[in-house]
A = this chain, B = another copy of it.
Amino acid sequence: MWLLKTKKGPEYQTEDCPVIDKQVVASGYCRVALHAPVIARKVDPGQFVQIFMPPEHRDHMLPRPFSIFGANRKNGELVILLEIKGRGTDLLAGTGPGSSWKLLGPLGTGFPALSPASLLVAGGMGIAPLAFLAASAAVPCTLIYGARTAGQLICPQSDLNRPGLSLLETTEDGSRGEKGTAVDLLSRLIADAGTVFACGPRPMLAAVNNLCRRAGIEAWVSVEERMACGVGACLGCAVATGSGYKRACRDGPVFRAEEVILDG
């Protein structure tokens, strides 16, 4: 038979998901909890979902990709951290409990399992997949969470408050946590690191990669690209790698840092 994974059922699928909770966590950011039992059961840290635009807004053709920020296999809750960037995120953020979102997922190749002494490095919205990775970890780990200023450390503390997780915050202006960038802090801690997992703006990922390569430490990064299908069909989400273009949605979004051409 030619189904991709016959025994487990399909890897991914669409699911109509009632919004069960929406909190504005900072101006322009919200945390949305959805009832998505099928996707929540399957998802691994680093994977993502595509959220379809409501059908009455068909002038917006493309679904929008969002990392899984949290998933509760038992009660089927799936959590997304959403930054309003343009029309699509604005539309989504404008709905709330009582409405339903159509999701496609879980999609993509997530992070490998955490080894002891793993160091997680999140810049800005890069917190979303890493918070989920930290929460799913079987071993203790350290999470560096950096932003320009305190107001941009928008992730609710309650979502980072896990046993075994040491949280280190940095801000460039020193308004919260250590003064400096997440990479500055990483460069001080890297000597003791096992594996490094990073998500954030491209320049940050490039810096993380350079640090890790010099230190001889394994590093994984999660990258963003514009997407259409989300399932590896259209080849729209090309990421330049040492061995040609790969698909962010299927071969990634998580790649070995050394594999991706990050400063191109």
Contact = CB atoms under 8 A, between A and B. Distances in A.
A263 interface: no
Interface residues of A, number: 5
Interface in A36-58: 56-58
A59 interface: yes
Contacts of A56: 57, 91
A121 B195 CA distance: 83
Number of copies: 2
Nearest to A59: B59
A197 B57 CA distance: 41
Interface in A47-106: 56-59, 91
A59 B60 CA distance: 9
Contacts of A59: 57-59
A218 B56 CA distance: 46
A59 to B, nearest CB: 3
A228 to B, nearest CB: 19
A82 to B, nearest CB: 18
A244 B91 CA distance: 47
A58 B57 CA distance: 9
A57 B59 CA distance: 8
Contacts of A58: 59
A91 B56 CA distance: 9
6 contacts: A56-B57, A56-B91, A57-B57, A57-B59, A58-B59, A59-B59
Per CB-CB distance, the 6 closest pairs between chain A and chain B, nearest first, are A59-B59, A58-B59, A56-B57, A56-B91, A57-B57, A57-B59
